[in-house]
Amino acid sequence: MSDTVAKQESVYEFSAMRLHGEEESLSQYKGQVLLIVNTASKCGFTNQYAGLESLQKELHDKGFSVLGFPCNQFGSQEPGSSDEIKSFCQLNYGVSFPMFDKVDVNGQDAHPLFTFLKKKAPGVMGTEGVKWNFTKFLVNKDGKVVERFAPQTKPESIKAAIESLL
């Protein structure tokens, strides 16, 4: 992990490229509870887009947002271009939450945001690597990582944890 990432304290210190090609600072989400998820269009968990969108619609006005980060590192389950990903998410699941450009979540080329998330909320037995698509990181209003949820954890089962932070 780079020294820069090691010194960062909140997700608001990062930026990422949106699917439409513009760099966006996560500082624009200050004061919101966030659920940051690595996503994929051709995964067994892809139907979780529906649950994520449901959370977004129900809780957005209370200060919550899902942030989706497509990733092709697990079984090449996100092979599409930015336009293909955007179209898939909107046509199949009506996704209205912010979607970012495809990122790596593990390895030398991992996006710094995911390096930070993994460090702040390690997985089972302290492992930092993301194991599969749809790993979810819950972030409080101060930009601090509160909890990490496994890919098989359905979005609707996280609702109470989200509401407790709103």
pLDDT tens for each residue of the chain, 166 residues long? 444 555 678 999 999 999 888 999 999 999 999 999 999 988 888 889 999 999 999 999 999 999 999 999 998 988 888 888 888 888 788 899 999 999 999 999 999 999 999 998 877 766 778 999 999 999 999 999 999 999 999 999 999 999 999 9
Query: What was the pLDDT predicted at 91?
Result: 77
Query: What was the pLDDT predicted at 1?
Result: 45
Name the catalytic one among 43, 66, 85, 158: 43
Query: What was the pLDDT predicted at 8?
Result: 74
For the CA atoms of 91, 162, 64, 135, the dihedral, rounded to the nearest 10 degrees, stands at -50
| Count of helix runs (H) and strand runs (E) in the chain | 5, 6
d(CA 11, CA 13): 5
CB-CB contact of 120 with 114 (8 Å)? no
Helix 48-59 and helix 82-93: axis angle, to 10°? 70
Tokens read off for 46: 């892809």
Query: What was the pLDDT predicted at 80?
Result: 82
Domain interval for residue 88: 3-163
Using alpha carbons, list the distances in angstroms from residue 158 to 51, 52, 101, 108. Answer: 10, 10, 24, 30
CATH at residue 135: 3.40.30.10
Q: Quick one: the chain helix, strand, coil %, rounded to 5?
A: 35, 20, 45
Give the sign of the dihedral formed by CA 157, CA 100, CA 39, CA 105. negative
| Closest residue by Cα to residue 40 from 76, 74, 77, 67 | 77
Number of domains in the chain: 1
Active site residue 71: no
